Amino acid sequence: MDSSYITVDGNEACASVAYRCSEVIAIYPITPASPMGELADAWAARDIPNALNITPRVIEMQSEAGAAGTVHGSLQTGALCTTFTASQGLLLMIPNMFKIAGELTPTVFHIAARSIATHALSIFGDHSDVMAARSTGWAMLCSSSVQEAQDMAMIAHSATLKCRVPILHFFDGFRTSHEVNRITSIDDDTVRSMLDEDLIRQHRERSLDPDKPTLRGTAQNPDVFFQARESCNPFYDAAPEIIRETMQDFARKTGRKYDLFDYVGDPEAERVVVIMGSGVGAVEEAIAELNNKGEKVGMVKVRVYRPFDSKAFIASLPETVQSVAVLDRTKEPGAVGEPLFLDVVASVQEDWTGPQRLKIIGGRYGLSSKEFTPAMAASVFAELNKPEPKRRFTVGIVDDVTHLSLKWDPDFVTERPDNVRAVFYGLGSDGTVGANKNSVKIIGENAGLAAQGYFVYDSRKAGSVTVSHLRFGKHAIESTYLIQRASFVACHQFNFLEKMDVLELAAPGATVLLNSPFDEKDVWDHLPREVQETIIERKLHLWVVDATAVARDVGLGARINTVMQPCFFALSGVLPRDEAIGHIKDLIRKTYSKLGQSIVDRNIAAVDQSLERLREVKIPVRAESARHRLPPIPGVAPDFVQRVTSMMIAGKGDLLPVSALPVDGTFPTGTTRFEKRSIAIDIPIWDADLCTQCGLCPLVCPHAAIRSKVFPESELKDSPERFESREWKNKEHPGYRLTIQVAPDDCTGCGICVDVCPARSKEVAKHKAINMTPKDEHLERERSNFDFFLKVPEMDRRSVKLETIKGSQLLEPLFEFSGACAGCGETPYIKLLTQLFGDRLVVANATGCSSIYGGNLPTTPWSCNAEGRGPAWCNSLFEDNAEFGLGLRLGVEQKHLIAKELLRQLGPKIGDDFVASLLSFSSTDETSLAEQRERVAALKKMLGQDQSLEARRLVTLADQLVPRSVWIIGGDGWAYDIGFGGVDHILASGVNLNLLVLDTEVYSNTGGQASKSTPRAAVAKFASGGKHACKKDLGLLAMSYGNVYVAQIAMGANPLQTLNALREAESYPGVSLIIAYSHCIAHGIDMGTAMTHQKDAVTTGYWPLFRFDPRNAHDELHPLRLDSRKPTSPFKVFADKEARFAMLQRANPSEAKELFEQAQADIDARWRFYEQMVGVSRHAHEPEVAEEVNS
Amino acid sequence: MNVDLSTRYLGLTLRNPLIASACPLNQDPEFLLRLEEAGAAAAVFPSLFEEQIEFQQQQIFGLYEYGTESFAESLSYFPELEDYNVGPTEYLRRLRAARDAVRFPLIGSLNGMTVGGWIQFAKLIEDAGVDALELNVYFVPSDPRHGSEEVERRYLDLVTAIRKAIKIPLAIKVGPYFTSFGHFARRLVDAGADGLVIFNRYIQPDINLETLDFFPNLALSESYESRLSMTWIAMLRGRVGAYLAATSGIHSVEDLAKILLVGADVAMLASAIYRHGPDHFARLEAGLKSWLIEKDYASVQQMKGSLSRENCSNPEAFERVNYMRSLVAYTSKPI
C-alpha cells in the first residue's frame, strides 16, 4: 500500500492516472480541463513511460469532436484511450460517445465539469455539461475532491475494462480541478495491478483486424435496430456491481473505501440530503455541526450516477429517513425537476419499502461555481424541517422573482478553529498565487499537515487581482468553499486598501500582513478610515513589510512573492519559523535551479531580507483617517450600472438578487468607461509642441486610452487650465485645434504608444511627442483633462479623411478600455474597425480572448456614440462563429428586403420620389450614410401618423435601410481549427460578409496551445518540442475561391495597408477575409515594443503583407498585390526576439537549428510562390449581389 | 640561420609568441585547426559572458513567470520544459569540441565584472580541459560616485574569487583606464593573476543618425593602437612578476617586433585575423623569423624586454619630456 503524500490539483491528480492507463490520448484545450491535456502532452514529450510501459501517443485535434472521433477510432483498434474536456467540448463529443457506448467499448473520458453556455458563457463549474451527456449510455462516476479525482480515475480505468461500459469520470471544474490539496498518491504498481491483463487482451481481441475481419457501424432497419439496442442491457445491469467490486479492489490496495453511494451522518437520520460533486464537503461539515446539536441529519454522496443503481441508492438511506432533499448542480428549465432529483424520486417510488412515505424535495445550487457553504447546506436541512417545505428550491442566491431561494444564516460557520485559514490579495503579476501554491506544497509535503489552496482570479487580463484561500491543519481539509473567517489576511498591494474591502474576511484577532511603502510608524495615517475601523473593532494585529523595496533591491522587479511568503510563515505560526524558511529555500532551489543560479540567489536573498524588514504596527485606539475607500463607480453612471454593474465591480455580485439581472442575457454596452481601474504605474503624456499629428499613438493603443480629437478653438473656452492642444495642420479647417489625450485611469501603461511615436525632441533625443511618466504626478490633471476632452464634440465624420491614418484616428472608437492584456495585439484592430464602421457594425465573435475581453462581465468595452449608435455584439460559440455570422447577415438582409418592399408598397402614400431616394441609396461613404439616416428619420416621422399594418411594420424595420456592416471576428483557434469548416463554407457562400481573424498563432485565451496557425519551430503548449508542421496558409486557401477578398495585414508594420484592407474588405460586396497579425504575450516578447517588432515579421518575410481583390480579377488584371517587399533579413532576426522560438534554441539547439532552417525554407518558398501569383491574371465571378443589399 | 621563436606564457611553452585572441571565430574547431596549421602558438576561446548567463536566466525567468497565475483560463503561456540550458552547457560543449580538435594550448575565457554565482563556471571551464584561463574584466565605471579604490576593489575581489576556484594559470585582461596602472597591475598579481593581458579595447557604441540611437559598432583595431600596450608593457616588464601579453593593434611584423622588444611574452591578435585571415599567422611567424635573423637575434627570448623601460637607453621617452618633444616636433612641421 502506497502512502506517499503529494500536493496537486484535481486536474493533475486525475491526469496522472489517465496518462498511466492510456496508449492514445487525443486532446483539445478547453477551460478548466486544459491542464490535463497539457500535462499529458508534457509527460509524453519527455518520453515518460506509463504503467503500461509505453509513452502514450498524445495528439492535439482540431476540436473536441475531433478528439472524440480519434479516440473512437483508436478504441476500435484495441488501444487503451482517453481524453479530457469540459462544457461545450463535451457536447461536441456526444455524437461519438453514443457510438462508443453503443459499441460497448471500454474507455474513460475525464471531465472538469463546467457550465454550458446558455444566456452567457461561464468557465466555472457545475454539472450542466455532464448532465447533458447522461443519455449517451456512459457510466458516470463522480469525484468530489482532489483525492477522489485521482482515485475515481483509477477505478474508472479499471472498471471500464471489465464492464465494457465506457465511463465518464467527472469532478467540479475549478473547485476540484484547480484546488490544490495534499493527497495520497497511487504508485505505478498499484495502477498496473488495477489494469487486468486479461481484460486488456479481450479488448484487443475485439478490435478491428484484417486477420479476423469484422464490421461495425452498420445501418440498421426498423426490423432489428430496436432489438439490437436492447441487447446491451445485461452489461448495464452488471456495471454497478462491477464498479463496486472495483472500488473494493481499490480499497484493498490503497485503504481508501468508496461505494456507489456513501452515506454520512446520523445513522438514525430523519432528514437526508442527496448530492454529488464537491458540494459534499460543505454538506458534511454542516451535518457534523447539526449532529452535534442533536439534529438527526445525514447525506448520501452519489458516486456512480449512471447506471443509477436504484436499489443500492435506497439501501444507502437510513431506515429512519423521513424527508430527502436532492441537490442538483444543474438546471433544466421546464423539467419536473433536475436529473438527480428525478432519479431519486423514481428510485424511491419503485424501491423504497419503508413504512413511512418519504417527502422528497429538489433544489439547485452552485451553478457556475456559485459558492455552496455549510450554512447553505444547513438551510436545506432547515427547509426539510418545515411542515410544507418548498418542493423546488434554489440555495445560494436570492430569488426575488419566483421566490424559490432558501435563506441561510451567514453566521453558521463550521471552519475548524484549529486550522490556519489564510487569505491573500495580490496581483497576477506579483506572483502571489505562485508563492501560495508553493506554501501549500511546503506544508502538505513536508510538515505532515493537511493543506488546501484555492485561487480566485479576475475577469481581466491586465492588472488582474487574485485572491488566494489557504487552509492548513492536522485533519484532512475538505472544506469545498471559500474561507469565510480568516485567521490571517495578507494584502500584497497597498493600493488595494482603497479599492476593495480586503479585511472583509478577517476574523476577530486575525493577523494582517500588509506590503507597505510606509513603515510601522507612518503606515497608520495612510490607511483608509474603513480599514482603521475594522482593525480596531476586530482587534486585528497589523504587520508591515516593504516587499516592493526588497524585491527591487534583490533584482526581482515586481515579483514580491518571495518576500511575502516568509512573512506569512513567520506570522501564521503554521510551521516553526526556521523550519519554514528552510523549506522555502529548498523549494526555491528545486523550482528555479533549472532557470539558473542567479534566479535562485535572488529569491533566497529576498527570503533573507524579508524577515529583517517585517514590523508590527502599534494600533491606535481611534480611527481618524481622512482617507476613504473609493466607490466602485466614480461619478455619474446610468441606473443599471449604478445598481448592478457597480456591485459586480465591487466584488459583491453574489448579493445581487435574481430581479437585478436581465432575463435573456442582454446587457447595455459602453460600461468599461465607468470602471476606473487605474492600474498603470506610468502613463503617456503628450508634448504638443513636438507632435507631428501622425495619428499613430491612438491607432496602436490597445485600450483606446490615447485619443485624438480635432475641434474649433472656441471649444477651448471652458477647458481646464492645463489642457493641451495645438493648431491642427489642415487647410480645410483653419483655426481648429488638435489634442492627444490620455485616459489616465484606463491606461494600462503598456507604452506601445510611446514606442511607435516618430517625433523626438531636438534637444533631448529620448524625449518624444508622447512619453511615459509616473501616473501619480499627472493623475489629477489628466483626469480633469480627459473629462473635458470627452465633452468636446466629436469631429463630423463627413469632414474626416478616412483614407489616412490621422483621419481615421479622429473617429470615435467604440471599443474602449477592455480588460485585454497590457499591449494586446488584437484590440487595436477591433478598435479601428469600430472607428470606421462602428455606428452600423454587427459583430459575431468567436469564443476566445476577444469574446472574453469583449464580453466578460462586469463591463464591456463595446461602446456607443453620442447618438446611441454602436456595435451590436454577440458571441455564439467557439466552433460556429462563421455560421453564426452568416445567420446574422442573412437576417439583416431579409429585414432590409422587407423594408424595401414595404417602402414600395407605401410609395403612393409617402411620395414616390422620396421612396426612390431611399431605395436608390447604394454608397457607404459617410456623407451618403448621413443623408440616408436623415431620410430614414424623416420616413419614421411620416410613418408615425400612419396606423396601417404596413406602416407599423416599416417603422420597425426602417433603420435597416441604412446598411449594416457584419463582421465575423475570432482568433486562429477558431478560424484555422475548430471553426474552419464553417469558415470555409462562408468563404464559398458569396454572401456580403467580413471575417477578421486575429491571428496570435496560438490558442491565447486558454494559455498558448498550438493551433494550425502556429508556425514551424515555435514552442507552444501541445508542441513543447517545437512545432514540426508548417503554418497553414489560410489566405491562400481563401484565394483559391477567386471571388473572396483576402488581405494579410500587420498594423505595426504597415498601418496604412491595414486601414486600406479594412475599408476595401467592407466595401467588397462578397466575402472578405482579413488575417491580422496579432502579437501576444504567448509569443514571449516585450509587449511594449511589440508593434514595432511587427516590422521584423514583415521584413523577414515571416508575415508577408498582401491584398487579393477579386474586383481586379478580370480583363487581364492581377488581383493579388504584395504590400511588403522581398525579405531583406533572415527569419532568425525575427525569431531571436521571441521566446517562443528562442526557447527551443536553448532547450534543444540541434532540433532548433533544423527547424529554423525548415522555417526559413517555408518563408522562401511562400514568397517565391506569392511573387509568381502576383503576376498571374485571373478571372473570377464577383458575387451576385442584389442591389438591395449592396452595402 | 636558426632562431628560436619559442616563448613562455602562463607557464606554457609556445612555439612562437603569436596567440589568437578571444573572438567569435575561435569557437569553430575547424577554424582553430586552420589557426594551428598557420602557426598560431595558442588560442583563446571566445568568452563566456557573465551577462550571457545571468541575462538569459533573467529572461527565461521573466518568461516563465510573465502573465502567469493571473487569469483563470490561462495560468501559464508556455509549456514547462525539462531543461532550459541556462547554464553554460552549450558553451562547454563547444569548448570541449575545440579542445579535442586542436593540439596547441587552448586558453578559456570568462568575461564579467561581479562576484556572483557565475564565477563557478571558471571551474567548469577548467574541467573542460583548457590550459589556462583568461579573465576579461570589462567594466565601465559609469557612476561618478564610485571612486578609484572602489573600482579597483571590484577587480581584485573578482580575481581573488576566480583564483580560488581554479588551479590552472590565470591571466587578467583589463583596460588602460586606471589612476596608477603599474600599482594596480601589482595588486592584480598579488591577488592571484599569473599574467596580464593589456589592453582591452573599450568598444564604444556608435550613433545611428537616422534613429538617433546608439548602436554597437565594432571597428577593427589599427597598428597605432598598439602603442598604448607597448608603453605599459615597457614600464611593467620586470616589475610586476607576471607574464605580459600585448593585445590591440598588432597587425604587422613591425608591430610584433616592437611589442616583444618592450617585453611582451606574447602578442594576441584578433583584428588582424578578421582582416587577413588565419594564414596571417604564417606570414607573421615567417616575418618575425626574418626580422630576428636580419637583426641578428638568436631567439625571441633574447629580444624580449630588451627595450623595456629598465633596459632601454632613453627611459625619459616614457615621461613628460617625450610628450613635450612630440608636440613640438609635430607642430613645427609646416601646415
| Contact between residue A64 and residue A119 where contact means Cβ atoms under 8 Å apart | no
Residue tagged active-site, from A1005, A1006, A1014, A1058: A1005
B58 in contact with A at a CB cutoff of 8 Å? yes
Q: Which of A34, A592, A599 to mutate to test the interface with B (most CBs of B within 10 A)?
A: A599
Q: Is the pLDDT at A43 greater than 90, yes or no?
A: yes
Residue A532 CA to chain centroid, in angstroms?
A: 36
Residues of A in contact with B87 (CB under 8 A): 596-597
**B83, closest residue in chain A (CA to CA):** A1147
Residue B210: C-alpha distances to residues A754, A765, A859, A1100 (Å): 18, 12, 44, 21
pLDDT at residue A1190, rounded to an integer:
41
Of the candidates A437, A455, A1006, which has its C-beta nearest B74's C-beta? A1006
Q: Is the pLDDT at A929 greater than 60, yes or no?
A: yes
pLDDT at residue A1, rounded to an integer:
38
d(CA A654, CA A675): 18
Section A1096-1104 average pLDDT:
98
Q: In chain A, which among 590-629 make CB contacts under 8 A with chain B?
A: 592, 594-601
Q: Cell 486525475 belongs to which residue?
A: A14
Q: Give per-residue pLDDT as tens, A936-978.
A: 999 999 998 899 999 999 999 999 999 999 999 999 999 999 9
d(CA B178, CA B184): 7
- Under DSSP, is residue B230 helix (H, G, I), strand (E, B) or coil? helix
pLDDT at residue A1188, rounded to an integer:
42
Query: For this structure, is A64 an active site residue?
Result: yes
Residue tagged active-site, from A11, A12, A23, A31: A31
Give A596 to chain B, closest Cα distance, Å. 5
Residue tagged active-site, from A64, A675, A812, A816: A64
Helix crossing, A597-612 with A561-572: angle to 10°?
40
Residues of B in contact with A821 (CB under 8 A): 67
Strands A420-427 and A323-328 turn out to be unpaired
Residues of A in contact with B74 (CB under 8 A): 461, 1004-1008
A1143 in contact with B at a CB cutoff of 8 Å? yes
* Amino acid identity for residue A1088 in this structure: G
Among the residue ranges A989-1003, A1016-1030, A1091-1105, B118-132, the one predicted with the least confidence is B118-132
pLDDT at residue B66, rounded to an integer:
83
B116 in contact with A at a CB cutoff of 8 Å? yes
Q: Is the pLDDT at B110 greater than 50, yes or no?
A: yes
The class that CATH gives domain A261-406 is: alpha beta
The CA-CA-CA angle for residues B202, B207, B211, to 5°, reads 150
Phi, psi of A169 (to 5 degrees): -100, 125
| Contact between residue A1151 and residue B75 where contact means Cβ atoms under 8 Å apart | no
Of the two residues A459 and A41, the one the predictor is more confident about is A41
Of the candidates B84, B118, B212, which has its C-beta nearest A595's C-beta? B84
* Residues A455, B118: C-beta atoms closer than 8 Å: no
Identify any residues that bridge with A8 across adjacent strands, giving them in sequence order. A181
DSSP string across A788-845: HHHHSPPPPGGGS-TTSHHHHTTSPPSB-S--SPTT-SSHHHHHHHHHHHGGGEEEEE
pLDDT band at A1143 (very low <50, low <70, confident <90, very high): confident
Section B165-179 average pLDDT:
94
| Contact between residue A434 and residue A1 where contact means Cβ atoms under 8 Å apart | no
Of the candidates A559, A1007, A1084, which has its C-beta nearest B63's C-beta? A1084
Q: Is the pLDDT at B334 greater than 60, yes or no?
A: no
Nine cell digits for residue A27: 486532446
**The domain at A965-1174 falls in which architecture?**
3-Layer(aba) Sandwich (3.40)
| Contact between residue A657 and residue A398 where contact means Cβ atoms under 8 Å apart | yes
Domain with CATH 3.40.50.970 in chain A: 5-210+228-254, 965-1174
Residues of A in contact with B120 (CB under 8 A): 597
| Superfamily of the domain at A451-616 | Pyruvate-ferredoxin oxidoreductase, PFOR, domain III (3.40.920.10)
Of the candidates B57, B72, B74, which has its C-beta nearest A598's C-beta? B57
* Residues B79, A428: C-beta atoms closer than 8 Å: no
Q: How many C-beta atoms lie closer than 10 Å to residue B93's C-beta?
A: 13
* Residues A1082, B116: C-beta atoms closer than 8 Å: no
DSSP string across A958-989: GGGGSPPEEEEEEEHIIIIIITHHHHHHHHTT
Q: Is the pLDDT at A756 greater than 50, yes or no?
A: yes
Give B157 to chain A, closest Cα distance, Å. 19
| Contact between residue A1108 and residue A1034 where contact means Cβ atoms under 8 Å apart | no
d(CA A1017, CA A1135): 9
- The CATH number covering residue B86 comes to 3.20.20.70
Give A12 to chain B, closest Cα distance, Å. 14
Mean residue pLDDT of chain A comes to 95
Domain with CATH 3.40.920.10 in chain A: 451-616
Q: Cell 471649444 belongs to which residue?
A: A715
| Contact between residue B101 and residue B26 where contact means Cβ atoms under 8 Å apart | no
d(CA A459, CA A819): 7
Whole-model pTM: value is: 0.92
Beta strands in A492-635 (DSSP E): 506-515, 541-545, 615-616
Q: ω into residue B176 within 30 of 0, thus cis?
A: no
Give A984 to chain B, closest Cα distance, Å. 28
* Residues A596, B212: C-beta atoms closer than 8 Å: no
Residues of B in contact with A455 (CB under 8 A): 69
Section A53-70 average pLDDT:
97
Residues of B in contact with A434 (CB under 8 A): 65, 68-69
Nine cell digits for residue B317: 621617452
**A466, closest residue in chain B (CA to CA):** B70
DSSP run (H or E) holding A263? strand A261-265
Nine cell digits for residue B113: 565584472
Give A610 to chain B, closest Cα distance, Å. 21
DSSP run (H or E) holding B164? helix B148-165
Nine cell digits for residue B21: 585572441
Q: Is the pLDDT at B62 greater than 90, yes or no?
A: no
* Residues A458, B56: C-beta atoms closer than 8 Å: no
Residues of B in contact with A34 (CB under 8 A): 73
In total, chain A counts a number of residues equal to: 1191
| Contact between residue A151 and residue A414 where contact means Cβ atoms under 8 Å apart | no
pLDDT at residue B335, rounded to an integer:
53
User: CATH classification of A5-210+228-254 is 3.40.50.300, yes or no?
Assistant: no
d(CA A826, CA A1005): 12
Q: Is the pLDDT at A256 greater than 90, yes or no?
A: yes
A458 in contact with B at a CB cutoff of 8 Å? yes
Of the candidates B69, B78, B86, which has its C-beta nearest A428's C-beta? B69
SS3 letters for A386-404?
A: CCCCCCEEEECCCCCCCCC
Section A174-188 average pLDDT:
97
* Residues B67, A428: C-beta atoms closer than 8 Å: yes
Q: Does B57 reside within a domain?
A: yes
Nine cell digits for residue B44: 583563446
| Contact between residue A219 and residue A79 where contact means Cβ atoms under 8 Å apart | no
Q: Give per-residue pLDDT as tens, B265-277.
A: 999 999 999 999 9
pLDDT at residue A1186, rounded to an integer:
44
d(CA A15, CA A445): 20
| Contact between residue A263 and residue A356 where contact means Cβ atoms under 8 Å apart | no
- Taking the CA atoms of residue A177, residue A182, residue A184 and residue A188 in that order, the dihedral angle to the nearest 10 degrees is 60
Q: Is the pLDDT at A1191 greater than 60, yes or no?
A: no
Residues of B in contact with A595 (CB under 8 A): 57, 60-61, 64, 84, 86
Query: For this structure, is A114 an active site residue?
Result: yes
Section A1090-1097 average pLDDT:
97
The class that CATH gives domain A672-875 is: alpha beta
d(CA A1016, CA A999): 15
- Under DSSP, is residue A456 helix (H, G, I), strand (E, B) or coil? strand
Give A1051 to chain B, closest Cα distance, Å. 21
Nine cell digits for residue A54: 509505453
Provide CB contacts within 8 A for B181, sequence distance 6+: B232
Among the residue ranges A86-90, A363-367, A497-501, the one predicted with the least confidence is A497-501
d(CA A556, CA A724): 38
Q: Is the pLDDT at A1189 greater than 60, yes or no?
A: no
Nine cell digits for residue A272: 437526508
* Residues B70, A599: C-beta atoms closer than 8 Å: no
Query: For this structure, is A295 an active site residue?
Result: no
Selection from A578, A573, A564 nearest residue A613 by Cα: A564
B117 in contact with A at a CB cutoff of 8 Å? yes
Query: For this structure, is A1005 an active site residue?
Result: yes
Using left for φ > 0, alpha for ψ between -120 and 50, and beta otherwise, residue A269 falls in beta
Q: In chain B, which among 67-106 make CB contacts under 8 A with chain A?
A: 67-87, 90
Domain with CATH 3.30.70.20 in chain A: 672-875
Residues of A in contact with B81 (CB under 8 A): 1019, 1024, 1143, 1147
The CA-CA-CA angle for residues B170, B171, B173, to 5°, reads 145
d(CA B196, CA B245): 6
* Residues B77, A1081: C-beta atoms closer than 8 Å: yes
Identify any residues that bridge with A842 across adjacent strands, giving them in sequence order. A872, A966
pLDDT band at A1185 (very low <50, low <70, confident <90, very high): low
Q: How many domains does chain B contain in total?
A: 1
- Ranges A559-563, A954-958, B143-147, most confident: A954-958
Q: Is the pLDDT at A1187 greater than 70, yes or no?
A: no
CATH of A632-668 among 4.10.780.10, 2.60.260.20, 3.40.50.1980, 3.30.70.3340 = 4.10.780.10
d(CA B164, CA B156): 12
pLDDT band at B134 (very low <50, low <70, confident <90, very high): very high
Cα atoms in the Cβ-side hemisphere of radius 13 Å centred on A863: 22
Selection from A1029, A1026, A1050, A1052 nearest residue A977 by Cα: A1029
d(CA A154, CA A140): 14
Identify any residues that bridge with A844 across adjacent strands, giving them in sequence order. A874, A968
Q: Which of B58, B66, B81 to mutate to test the interface with A (most CBs of A within 10 A)?
A: B81
Provide CB contacts within 8 A for A802, sequence distance 6+: A808, A811, A836, A926, A1063
**A426, closest residue in chain B (CA to CA):** B70
**A41, closest residue in chain B (CA to CA):** B79
SS3 letters for A36-53?
A: HHHHHHHHHHCCCCCCCC
Q: Residue B230's domain spans which residues?
A: 7-331
* Residues B54, A434: C-beta atoms closer than 8 Å: no
Helices (H), A112-221: 128-132, 146-163, 188-194, 197-205
- Tell whether the torsion through CA atoms of B77, B81, B83 and B88 is positive or negative: negative
* Residues B65, A431: C-beta atoms closer than 8 Å: yes
Of the candidates A457, A595, A598, which has its C-beta nearest B71's C-beta? A457
* Residues A1019, B79: C-beta atoms closer than 8 Å: yes
Provide CB contacts within 8 A for A569, sequence distance 6+: A439, A575, A577, A580, A581, A584
* Residues B78, A31: C-beta atoms closer than 8 Å: no
Give B23 to chain A, closest Cα distance, Å. 21
- Tell whether the torsion through CA atoms of A392, A396, A402 and A403 is positive or negative: positive
